[in-house]
Amino acid sequence: PQTIYLKNYHEPEYLIETVDLNFILEAEYARVVSRLTITHNPDNKARNAALVLLGEELTLISIALNGVTLTTSQYKLNDESLTIADVPQNTTFTLAIENTINPKANSALEGLFVSNDMLCTQCEAQGFRKITYFLDRPDVMARFTTTLIADKTLYPVLLSNGNKVAQGELIDNRHWVTWEDPFKKPCYLFALVAGQLECIEDHFTTMSGRDITLKIFVEAHDIDKCAHAMQSLKNSMRWDEVTYGREYDLDLYMIVAVGHFNMGAMENKGLNVFNTKFVLARPDTATDMDYEHIEGVIGHEYFHNWTGNRITCRDWFQLSLKEGFTVFRDQEFTADQTSKAVKRIDDVNALRTRQFAEDAGPLAHPIRPEAYIEINNFYTLTVYEKGAEVVRMIRTLLGTENFHKGADLYFQRHDGQAVTCEHFVQAMEDASNKDLSQFRRWYSQAGTPVVKVEQTYDAAKQSLTLTLSQSIPGQKNAAVLHIPVKVALFSEDGTIMDASVVDTVAINNELTLELREQTQDFIFENVPGTPILSILRGFSAPVKLQMSQPLTELAFLLRHDNDSFNRWEAGQKLTASIIFELIDTIKQGKSLSIPEILIDSFKAILEQTSPDLSYLACLLSLPAENYLAEQMPVVDVEAIHHARQFVKRSLAAHLTEQISALYLQNHQQETGELNSAAIGKRRIKNLCLDYLSQLNTDDSHQLAHNQFANAKTMTDQIAALGSIVNSENPEKQACLQQFYQQWQDEALVIDKWFSIQASSTQPDTFTVVQSLLRHSAFDLKNPNRVRSLVGAFSQANPVHYHAKNGQGYQFLADQVIALNSLNPQVASRMVSALTQWRRFDKQRQDLMKQQLERIINTDNISKDVFEIASKSLA
């Protein structure tokens, strides 16, 4: 397969001004007529270039240039493109192309495909070429008119981008609808949907007083699960007006939920297509987390209308331009709607467990990659989440006010254009006068920087010297980055010191240091005593800190730090260092004991009251196994699991009384409401239940079973089921069966049923997973189902997936090979659990490599899977 390089980018030779699409739609046969008006691109100096339209898996019927049908000698056709050597250079010309496709046979879910009985599209990144021949690249922006023709009974609803401008009836029970999108757009934002859909409708009045019609389309049986998505949409629209001054531009905004979808959702202009997972919610079917994610993804796709659609990417290497910025926007939106402290912790947790691993592994790439084989493989945590952190750092360096001036300038300069990351940074720089030349390296440098911290206190001078140095392990000739490091100093009595550093602004005694050298000293004046350092507050940069801090200081910060992130972080570090000591003890074969300092710290938190119970729950949560693994030179899955379980069980045993009390206090009067107070109560209560179920007593089993049987919400029901499945609860089988019976018609709930079993740490899990693969409800063609079984087992169950005998690896490779021919995108996502093989012991390394090699040697290996598997072996 061919590698595509950023350095080879060149302007398109031709531009498409208008696209007139005509579809005759049937499940197994769709006929597409595309009429294009094309001109030579004046910005491209080359003349007389052939016109190369991209197209895959299409059956061509005819082509006409300016109304004259071309003979087969006038064009060349291969698997990927249609080339016409001779086209007019000085005038606009029209091309009419007719081709057919088979949506039903499209299990890759790219282009036009069938989900249940509806027809829908997914064109980002390169799906449009599976619909018709086109200049399928984001810097070709055109005005689209789309007419859909289909059977009235099978497809009563016919949707596309923009506004409905005409409709009518045909003979043979068929009807047609014409849609017109007044905004120029790249073809990756094209969408169509046809099906038997119901919709809920609402309205939004924009800041300039325009009335927007909002519609959410779903299958009939889901119509009672759309209210939250609609409210989320209205919240998003208001937030973008208030925060960024951005108003919606069309008169209609539509969202369609589909059950088969490779990703989360897609921002097609005026017609978002969503994975049902990010639309459907009712308190008894969706958890509080699901509710939060729905609001976040609805926000994300809505925010794309400005950061993605009005201003799009010049080429796919610039993907983070729209995704990083839009993730940053949706993170801030969620933070404003929920708890800022908890949202930051959740995001950093995800970044550090998953993106850091990606950035340290064989597939590490900068947020603006320089080469790819298959662009679908670059919709990564790096491009999205690290991309968002880079935007966040720009805001930290510029200050909020200048950051918004920069955003305004960016919107004003580039509206209607396809641009690069550089344009974004330039606008930020121009609006603020802040020099970002060194900062730009974040766009081209892969790897997570390590920042080493050393401190020397001079009592005579009352000064503290902080020496910070940076490096990026595993990256040759790593660039020296510009890193904002937020710091505060605490006195022993828990108050924050009023210290200063030359040329550094302090806000409420918090200083933002700008690390720009390999090694740099920062001198704090006016430091009355040896301070306790709170550093990288708010996680001000996506880096790993290297600093020795005694457990007593961590316990101190866990009590006193006024930065909610760092207070939590102190607890995580405290717990992690104790777990690592226990891991050493396990390796020496000695017996384990739990240090007093940990019990005391947890006891103090348990006895606290807080208006933000979700935050309190974060403080009481142990670092995840994957996060601990991240920090070990050679991952020892078993030792990590045992040490962590030991801590959990010990805390539960020593603090049973406090944990039970907290459970009861928050369980009584469970109302099933969805406000943040009620959500906080459930979050802490269910964490308590999880601790208590470690005890495996009759009482704890009873508690979980009662909650399961009487749950008012899915949050409570699934949390109880999780505790039951992960313990020796005698009611396990009965509960699992009952849950299945109760929810067998709700696909998203059954996904939970699969994943809870696939991620169980109980000894029989592998056998259970194998039998679930043969369950009548399992379907390799449904990405959500695959993620809930194969994904959960390989990504969220380290002890069983990494079983010493390699059965987990073999299982995964079998599924990847089966998926390779059905859905390459999903197959390649699943391979990721094999790519980290270098992190394990020799025996596991060999077993994982064997499976990777087996995958690469599969007949007809897709580009997607080949790229991930081969790069991870290289």
- Mark the segment that binds ligand LEU (CB under 6 A) among 150-158, 261-269, 351-359, 596-604: 261-269
Rounded to an integer, what distance in angstroms lies between the CA atom of residue 347 and that of residue 358? 16
Write out the binding residues for ligand LEU, residues 583-612 only, by CB under 6 A: none
**CB of residue 383 vs ligand LEU: minimum separation in angstroms?**
10
**CB of residue 365 vs ligand LEU: minimum separation in angstroms?**
17
Regarding 191 and contact with ligand LEU (CB under 6 A), the answer is no
**CB of residue 321 vs ligand LEU: minimum separation in angstroms?**
12
- Mark the segment that binds ligand LEU (CB under 6 A) among 259-267, 450-458, 606-614, 762-770: 259-267
Residue closer to ligand LEU (CB basis): 141 or 453: 141
CB 497 within 8 A of CB 491: yes
CB 609 within 8 A of CB 677: no
Rounded to an integer, what distance in angstroms lies between the CA atom of residue 196 and that of residue 117? 8
DSSP reduced 3-state for 593: coil
**CB of residue 16 vs ligand LEU: minimum separation in angstroms?**
21
Rounded to an integer, what distance in angstroms lies between the CA atom of residue 753 and that of residue 722? 9
- Mark the segment that binds ligand LEU (CB under 6 A) among 262-270, 355-363, 607-615, 677-685: 262-270
Kindly give the residue spans of alpha helices, DSSP state H, lying in 588-655: 596-606, 613-619, 625-630, 637-654
**CB of residue 589 vs ligand LEU: minimum separation in angstroms?**
48
**CB of residue 304 vs ligand LEU: minimum separation in angstroms?**
6
Residue closer to ligand LEU (CB basis): 323 or 625: 323
**Where do the DSSP E strands lie in 430-577?**
450-458, 463-471, 483-490, 506-507, 510-515, 519-524, 532-535, 544-546
Question: Where does residue 509 rank: exposed (0-12), middle (13-18), buried (19+ CB within 10 A)?
Answer: middle
**CB of residue 810 vs ligand LEU: minimum separation in angstroms?**
30
**CB of residue 286 vs ligand LEU: minimum separation in angstroms?**
20
Rounded to an integer, what distance in angstroms lies between the CA atom of residue 135 and that of residue 144? 14
Secondary structure (DSSP) of 835-852: HTGGGS-HHHHHHHHHHH
- Partnered with residue 418 across adjacent β-strands are 312
Indicate the DSSP class of residue 7: G
Tell me which of 110, 219, 222, 267 binds ligand LEU, using CB under 6 A: 267
- Mark the segment that binds ligand LEU (CB under 6 A) among 109-117, 258-266, 390-398, 546-554: 258-266
Rounded to an integer, what distance in angstroms lies between the CA atom of residue 717 and that of residue 323? 34
Regarding 124 and contact with ligand LEU (CB under 6 A), the answer is yes
Rounded to an integer, what distance in angstroms lies between the CA atom of residue 486 and that of residue 687? 31
**CB of residue 265 vs ligand LEU: minimum separation in angstroms?**
6
Residue closer to ligand LEU (CB basis): 374 or 569: 374
Residue closer to ligand LEU (CB basis): 108 or 466: 108
Residue closer to ligand LEU (CB basis): 299 or 406: 299
Half-sphere exposure of 212 (CA within 13 A, CB side): 22
Rounded to an integer, what distance in angstroms lies between the CA atom of residue 21 and that of residue 33? 6
Mark residues 3-42: x for contact with ligand LEU by CB under 6 A, - for none. ----------------------------------------
Residue closer to ligand LEU (CB basis): 300 or 802: 300
- Mark the segment that binds ligand LEU (CB under 6 A) among 264-272, 542-550, 636-644, 697-705: 264-272
**CB of residue 385 vs ligand LEU: minimum separation in angstroms?**
12
Rounded to an integer, what distance in angstroms lies between the CA atom of residue 134 and that of residue 410? 29
What number of other Cβ atoms are within 10 A of residue 770's Cβ? 12
- Mark the segment that binds ligand LEU (CB under 6 A) among 95-103, 260-268, 558-566, 663-671: 260-268
Residue closer to ligand LEU (CB basis): 783 or 798: 783
- Mark the segment that binds ligand LEU (CB under 6 A) among 29-37, 263-271, 715-723, 781-789: 263-271
Rounded to an integer, what distance in angstroms lies between the CA atom of residue 557 and that of residue 563? 9
CB 278 within 8 A of CB 297: yes
Indicate the helix (H) or strand (E) that contains 119.
strand 118-122
Q: Is the peptide bond before 364 cis (omega within 30 degrees of 0)?
A: no
CB 613 within 8 A of CB 549: no
Regarding 385 and contact with ligand LEU (CB under 6 A), the answer is no
Secondary structure (DSSP) of 530-597: PPEEEESTT--SS-EEE----HHHHHHHHHH-SSHHHHHHHHHHHHHHHHHHHHHHHHTTPPP---HH
CB 97 within 8 A of CB 60: yes
Tell me which of 110, 181, 219, 301 binds ligand LEU, using CB under 6 A: 301
CB 683 within 8 A of CB 617: yes
Regarding 300 and contact with ligand LEU (CB under 6 A), the answer is yes
In which residue are the tokens 């299958």 written?
A: 219
Residue closer to ligand LEU (CB basis): 571 or 824: 824
Q: Which residues are catalytic?
A: 301
- Mark the segment that binds ligand LEU (CB under 6 A) among 265-273, 566-574, 813-821, 861-869: 265-273
Tell me which of 266, 428, 622, 687 binds ligand LEU, using CB under 6 A: 266
Phi, psi dihedral angles at 371 (to 5 degrees): -155, 145
**CB of residue 323 vs ligand LEU: minimum separation in angstroms?**
6
Contacts of 277 (CB under 8 A, 6+ apart): 264, 290, 293, 748, 751, 784
Residue closer to ligand LEU (CB basis): 113 or 524: 113
Tell me which of 150, 263, 511, 861 binds ligand LEU, using CB under 6 A: 263
Residue closer to ligand LEU (CB basis): 265 or 360: 265
Size of interface with ligand LEU, in residues (CB under 6 A): 9
In which residue are the tokens 């390590």 written?
A: 450
Residue closer to ligand LEU (CB basis): 147 or 355: 355
Nearest to 437 by CA among 502, 516, 321: 516
Regarding 389 and contact with ligand LEU (CB under 6 A), the answer is no
| Max Cα distance, the chain (Å) | 95
**CB of residue 347 vs ligand LEU: minimum separation in angstroms?**
16
In which residue are the tokens 């099933």 written?
A: 672
CB 759 within 8 A of CB 796: yes
Residue closer to ligand LEU (CB basis): 122 or 160: 122
CB 455 within 8 A of CB 466: yes
Q: Is the peptide bond before 281 cis (omega within 30 degrees of 0)?
A: no
To the nearest 10°, report the CA torsion of 659, 662, 666, 667.
40
**Which two three-digit tokens encode residue 322?**
């729209």
Regarding 615 and contact with ligand LEU (CB under 6 A), the answer is no
**CB of residue 264 vs ligand LEU: minimum separation in angstroms?**
6
Regarding 379 and contact with ligand LEU (CB under 6 A), the answer is yes
In which residue are the tokens 């006068």 written?
A: 433
Residue closer to ligand LEU (CB basis): 262 or 676: 262
Indicate the DSSP class of residue 377: G
**Order of strands, edge to edge, in the sheet holding 51-54?**
51-54, 81-84, 76-77
Contacts with ligand LEU, residue ranges (CB under 6 A) = 124, 263, 265-267, 300-301, 323, 379
